[in-house]
Structure 1
């Protein structure tokens, strides 16, 4: 049987016990013919968690990158990939827990695909339901505008064009092609990641994954979701202010549209979308 190998990049910031549940699930999947290199990019953790990470690093169970401070998700991913020693990398959120044989399924599938392929597992809520944001359209002014419409779910033609496709009918197949996916779980060749320039470090948190998916599609790549490779995602485990997260999301949307849709962003409709993003931020901030 061919040897499988992957470097898993986990960017952690005060994610508490879920990080160690994530690590345990990865350790359990390693076999003689499946090597999993685990790289934890420590953007900040409590002293008790740092002690546990130090123990794992001393036992050579993980590579522990620390001391850089909180550099954000995108920069953390890039740092981790630079230290990866295998030809395949998996960007994985620290609160994603892989079911048995998930890594083998993903890696075996990737080997059968063209070189410009990104694969996501089937990311679920803890109750097993599909997580919002797993299946996505590309982020455009139109897809975001529809996403912000409160009655969009009652208008099926528009719902198919919204940013998040959760709730749309699923084809009866194991592999789904999508325009974009969540950054919670992204498996791809390291060479492809480097060819695309990695994650854009101008994003601190949020939207960096959508930017990456857009650049991959522009290079003729494809994005697949493997439904038989399940990760339970305990979303929002980081001890971070909701106001701070909302501010980063607003800033990231602004950066994305200024970067990829500059003419629109300077036009009157662009100013209207800026206002909608700002209003959404203030509503999130006050809730």
Structure 2
């Protein structure tokens, strides 16, 4: 415990091809924020689509910051850049395709004030299921954690995560090289290895999921590439050597099964490119993180300790 106290919440959102979706969801955020000590920061990685106008139409200028970057540095870099500007004790990383019930931000602020040192995974309802945070998986390494799972989350999902601002900064935020899809799992492994546990919040937010890549075959291929590469890089960065030596053959077999799925989806080529890049970049990725790593002891605790 480091004695963090709650003095406000900043909602951090990374935008990419998000204007239409944000026009639907942002009004619910504004209603939920009301008079609470809540601010907003938007890292806009596709400013040409007019998100700035959507934000300005719904929020007063003194309640938000808009950070455009037409170079699209990625979700991870966008979050890091936004958190650098935050002056509140806590941040809520929130995807733009999430709707907030009227009481959502009040409940999130209350939970952060009650236990201000602990990361919080907020639930998301998507694709016909309900999920809270991140879970381990023997095939894909990390997945959205089903809400019914007995054990606590490994860490919060980047789609709806509450973190003490100082903690996020102390751990270096998200690994920017990962770009997207897996950066939250990387942070989750690092937090867990350092003894920091995440608690789930009994709140489920409606989430569209995948709006930034829907209907674009090129972006679907890029996503398949990143997921394949990042699984290997996350393991290389965050696992101890003994666990990594066991995980590598398991991941190799898992990628054979995943390859069959990508064939059916027409995404085998970018998937294989991702596997190749992950193998090449793995040694360098491991050198990037020098803190505590997730090993067999962490794995055993995670699999056996049930949530309170």
Q: Secondary structure at the match of 1:222?
A: coil
Among 189, 195, 207, the alignment partner of 1:220 is 195
Structure 1 residue 249 corresponds to structure 2 residue 227: yes
**Maintained 8 Å contact 2:126/2:208:** yes
Among 125, 134, 137, the alignment partner of 1:136 is 134
Structure 2 gap ranges (5+):
269-308
Deviations 1:75-110 (A, max 9, x none): 110000001121111111111111111111112112
| Cα distance change of structure 1 residues 51 and 111 upon mapping to structure 2, 3 Å threshold | closer
Determine the C-alpha separation between the residues in 2 that align with 1:249 and 1:74.
14
Q: Secondary structure at the match of 1:249?
A: helix
Determine the C-alpha separation between the residues in 2 that align with 1:186 and 1:5.
15
**Maintained 8 Å contact 2:134/2:144:** yes
**Maintained 8 Å contact 1:250/1:278:** no
Determine the C-alpha separation between the residues in 2 that align with 1:130 and 1:121.
11
Determine the C-alpha separation between the residues in 1 that align with 2:70 and 2:85.
14
Structure 1 gap ranges (5+):
149-161, 171-175
Determine the C-alpha separation between the residues in 2 that align with 1:30 and 1:166.
27
Equivalent residue, structure 1, for 2:26 = 23
Equivalent residue, structure 1, for 2:245 = 264
Structure 1 residue 49 corresponds to structure 2 residue 51: yes
What is the RMSD of the two structures over their aligned residues, measured on CA atoms?
3.1
Equivalent residue, structure 2, for 1:66 = 68
Equivalent residue, structure 2, for 1:90 = 92
**Maintained 8 Å contact 2:122/2:156:** no
Range moving further from structure 2, 71-80 or 61-70: 61-70
Kindly indicate whether structure 1 or structure 2 has the higher relative contact order, using CA contacts under 8 Å at least 6 residues apart.
1
Q: TM-score, normalization: structure 1? A: 0.77
**Maintained 8 Å contact 2:80/2:173:** yes
Aligned pair count reads 257
Equivalent residue, structure 1, for 2:208 = 234
Determine the C-alpha separation between the residues in 2 that align with 1:202 and 1:3.
31
Q: Secondary structure at the match of 1:177?
A: coil
Q: TM-score, normalization: structure 2? A: 0.72
